């Protein structure tokens, strides 16, 4: 039998804002990467690797300053 633990987070207002920014940046990067993978597959028939997609992040952070709001170690 497996045990499960559930935790309820009760962030204060400042933490809620930080979480919302972080989730927003992660959601944007996910959608950007998904679109890039789909378009690449449609045009070339090849798939992009995880390492290639992760390699795009530093240049995207330079192009979009607001991406640095998200924690990089999540």
Predicted pLDDT of residue 70: 83
Is-above-0.85 flag for pTM? no
Predicted pLDDT of residue 69: 84
Provide the 8-state DSSP code for 73. Answer: T
Predicted pLDDT of residue 63: 95
Rg, the chain, Cα only: 17
Q: Give tens-digit pLDDT for 18-61.
A: 999 999 999 999 999 999 999 999 999 999 999 999 999 999 99
Please list, in sequence order, all residues whose beta carbon lies within 8 angstroms of the beta carbon of residue 47, skipping any fewer than 6 positions away: 37, 40, 41
Task: Say how far apart CA 36 and CA 56 lie, in whole Å.
Answer: 11
In this structure, the number of other CB atoms found within 10 A of the CB of residue 67 comes to 19
């Amino acid at each position: 039998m497996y045990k499960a633990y559930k935790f309820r987070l009760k962030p204060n207002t400042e933490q809620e804002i930080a979480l919302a920014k972080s989730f927003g940046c992660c959601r944007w990067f996910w959608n950007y990467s998904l679109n890039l993978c789909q378009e690449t597959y449609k045009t070339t028939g090849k798939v992009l690797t995880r390492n290639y997609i992760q390699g795009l992040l530093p240049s995207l952070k330079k192009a979009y300053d607001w991406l640095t709001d998200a924690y990089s170690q999540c």
